[in-house]
């Protein structure tokens, strides 16, 4: 499973990138707002750091507007993925932009039927939002499972990009189901390294090592 980082925080991206943990980056208008930076300037900086796909989201509501904004965002760098919402207009924009050979991430997906439409429209990535379904007492992972089955049934090439990931368990479950990509906030990716037994074991080893009176360096 590829790891995308769901943030516009360039320091956080750099830290994970140095460890080879960043296969791509996703941003959205809320994350750009949180960064306090200009969309083109911060997106360019991210594209210079990361060689994989970097999603930048359009904000127009009509297809022509999304297409124009998508083309403008694509000028930032070759690895830009244009993000459009899963609306009828978004599907039209996806069809046109993917037909021009551009990467398109269709976002705000909450049903298997929406994902089926995005694949038919030529999406490079479909972004089902797990956490926001969980928030409504639904199971976001059921959606990932349904889309996996449908895409495999018909050999769709659209990659499942599990989004709105909120926990380390989301990461594990997305990987078990076979999501192609998971995009997660930096703190969730870092938390995957944590285990109480690792901390406890390390503590015991260090106490015994101290008793030996030895040094390695």
Q: Which residues bind ligand G3P (CB under 6 A)?
A: 6, 26, 28, 127, 129, 131-132, 163-164, 166, 183
**With contact defined as beta carbons under 8 Å apart, do 127 and 163 qualify?**
yes
Q: Is 190 a residue of the active site?
A: no
Catalytic residue among 44, 83, 92, 207: 83
Least distance from C-beta 26 to ligand G3P, angstroms? 5
Tokens for 146, please give them. Answer: 């349904």
The closest alpha carbon to 12, from 31, 29, 30, belongs to 31
| Tokens 């390294």, residue located | 193
Q: Which is nearer to ligand G3P, 76 or 108 (CB)?
A: 108
Q: Which is nearer to ligand G3P, 136 or 206 (CB)?
A: 136
**How many Cα atoms occupy the beta-carbon half-sphere of 38 within 13 Å?**
6
Least distance from C-beta 199 to ligand G3P, angstroms? 27
The closest alpha carbon to 107, from 158, 39, 71, belongs to 158
Least distance from C-beta 130 to ligand G3P, angstroms? 8
Q: Which is nearer to ligand G3P, 31 or 66 (CB)?
A: 31
> What phi and psi, each to the nearest 5 degrees, are found at residue 65?
-65, -45
Least distance from C-beta 154 to ligand G3P, angstroms? 25
Helix or strand or coil: residue 163?
A: strand
Residues acting as catalytic residues: 83
């Amino acid at each position: 499973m590829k790891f995308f980082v769901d943030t516009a925080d360039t320091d956080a991206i750099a830290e994970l990138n140095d460890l080879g943990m960043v296969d791509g980056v996703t941003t959205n208008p809320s994350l750009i707002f949180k960064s306090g930076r200009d969309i083109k300037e911060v997106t360019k900086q991210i594209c210079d750091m990361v060689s994989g796909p970097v999603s930048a989201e359009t904000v127009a509501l009509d297809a022509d507007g999304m297409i124009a904004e998508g083309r403008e965002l694509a000028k930032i760098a070759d690895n830009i993925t244009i993000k459009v919402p899963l609306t009828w207009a978004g599907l039209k924009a996806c069809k046109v932009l993917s037909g021009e050979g551009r990467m398109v991430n269709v976002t705000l997906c909450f049903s298997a039927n929406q994902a089926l439409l995005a694949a038919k429209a030529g999406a490079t990535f479909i972004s089902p939002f797990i956490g926001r379904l969980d928030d409504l007492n639904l199971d976001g992972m059921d959606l990932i499972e349904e889309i996996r089955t449908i895409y495999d049934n018909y050999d769709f090439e659209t990659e499942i990009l599990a989004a709105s990931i909120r926990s380390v368990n989301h990461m594990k479950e997305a990987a078990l189901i076979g999501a192609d990509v998971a995009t997660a906030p930096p703190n969730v990716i870092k938390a995957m390294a944590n285990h109480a037994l690792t901390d406890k074991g390390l503590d015991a080893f260090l106490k015994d090592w101290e008793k030996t009176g030895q040094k390695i360096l």
